[in-house]
Amino acid sequence: MTPSFNRQAVEWTNELWVEMESYLNNLGEHYELDFIKWMRRFTNEMIFKIATGTKNDAIASYYNMLINDNKNSLNDKENEKLNESKNFIESIETYLAGMFYFFAFNNFTRNYVPFIRGKAKKLLKNKDYLFDKLYTIIKERRTEIENTPLDQPLRHDMLTSYITANTSRDINAVKHADVDLLRPMTDKEIFGNILEAMLGGTDTTANFICFTAYYLGHYPEVKQRLRQEFDRVLGNDLTRPITNKDLDELEYCDAVTKEVYRHSPIAFFVGRLNAQKDKVGGYEWPEGTTFQMLVSALMKHKDYWTEPEKFDPDRFYRVEEKNMILN
């Protein structure tokens, strides 16, 4: 992606966080929050804007649902937009949760076992809604780009980059790909990438933020050091937007996030399929064998980590300090 895309992603994150913070302030200090629901809507709206360049108002719709006055204070058009946003985020949550049924039950079970059959039908109906929504977004954006004069710049987002890749609107002069890939992407290929971004950028990121809050709550000394770094890098002005330069300087914050992930990896296993027969672990495996590598076990294996059960961000921070000295 382009540098402009990266800068805008940081700007969008700042804007979105300010919006969410205003809703939390309106709810009051003693309001009990369902943190994961807020984070899922924050991360979904973040990845939606990065992916498509537009807002889907996931946070606003959740806030209005909580205060239960959207019908009194909003017009029908605004209500319809917020309800559509609510349906979209719930559709993604249903799609992610429903994957279990298609991994755990074979085609016969899904079609003929009564309870599972009914559930599978609902999940497929939800899938159709989600897929139609994304294909509509792609087609509408493609039409917008086609109707935009060539001398007028386009916004920087994933969808625009995918649609304009290897066309007259492509801003990347240098290509790093095989010749057979130097062609415009089809709607199906774009859809696959956008869907992956939506799924991967919503649930995993939200869960990771919640795990980070959990560990900071259990390790106040880590939280204190983190706040000291925030004060040093960001200053006392809580309204100042975070910049790319700030992110580079938040080295202890980076160490904390790495240690959080080591203890609670969001992607706790990684799957691979061998393209040819292979020898692994002293056994011969035929072509087409599926391997599952348990990341959560590797992250706490005593052969690779000192005191693996201990929550210690310094195991990463010291490495960073040593690299700085050497450089």
pLDDT in the model for residue 319: 56
Task: For residues 50 and 30, give the distance between their C-alpha atoms in angstroms, rounded to a whole number.
Answer: 33
Amino acid at site 215:
Y
Task: For residues 75 and 138, give the distance between their C-alpha atoms in angstroms, rounded to a whole number.
Answer: 28
Name residue 284's beta-bridge partners: 279
Q: What is the pTM of this model?
A: 0.82
Task: For residues 300 and 210, give the distance between their C-alpha atoms in angstroms, rounded to a whole number.
Answer: 20
Q: pLDDT tens digits, residue range 151-209?
A: 898 888 899 999 998 888 887 777 776 777 788 999 999 999 999 999 888 888 999 99
From the list 86, 89, 49, the residue with the least C-alpha distance to 66 is: 86
295 neighbors 286 (Cβ within 8 angstroms): no
Tokens read off for 100: 């279990």
Domain 3-203 has CATH 1.10.540.10: no
From the list 299, 290, 292, the residue with the least C-alpha distance to 266 is: 299
Cα-based torsion angle of the residue sequence 131, 132, 133, 137 in order, rounded to the nearest 10 degrees: 100
pLDDT in the model for residue 250: 94
Task: Give every CB contact of residue 29 below 8 A, 6+ residues apart in sequence.
Answer: none
Annotated domain spans of the chain = 3-203, 219-326
pLDDT in the model for residue 181: 76
Task: Tell me the three state secondary structure of residue 262.
Answer: helix
Task: For residues 110 and 63, give the distance between their C-alpha atoms in angstroms, rounded to a whole number.
Answer: 37
pLDDT in the model for residue 326: 45
Task: Tell me the three state secondary structure of residue 167.
Answer: coil
Task: For residues 100 and 26, give the distance between their C-alpha atoms in angstroms, rounded to a whole number.
Answer: 38
Residue reference for tokens 């201990």: 310
> CB atoms < 10 A from the CB of 27, how many?
13
Task: For residues 213 and 217, give the distance between their C-alpha atoms in angstroms, rounded to a whole number.
Answer: 6
From the list 251, 260, 254, 255, the residue with the least C-alpha distance to 215 is: 260
The DSSP result for 36-69, as a single string, is: HHHHHHHHHHHHHHHHHSS---HHHHHHHHHHT-
- pLDDT tens for the chain, 327 residues: list them: 556 677 878 888 999 999 999 999 999 988 898 999 999 999 999 999 989 988 899 999 999 888 875 455 567 777 788 888 889 989 998 998 898 888 888 889 999 998 999 999 999 999 999 999 999 999 999 999 999 998 898 888 899 999 998 888 887 777 776 777 788 999 999 999 999 999 888 888 999 999 999 999 999 999 999 999 999 999 988 888 999 899 999 999 999 999 999 999 988 788 888 999 999 889 999 999 988 889 889 999 999 999 999 999 999 997 555 455 444
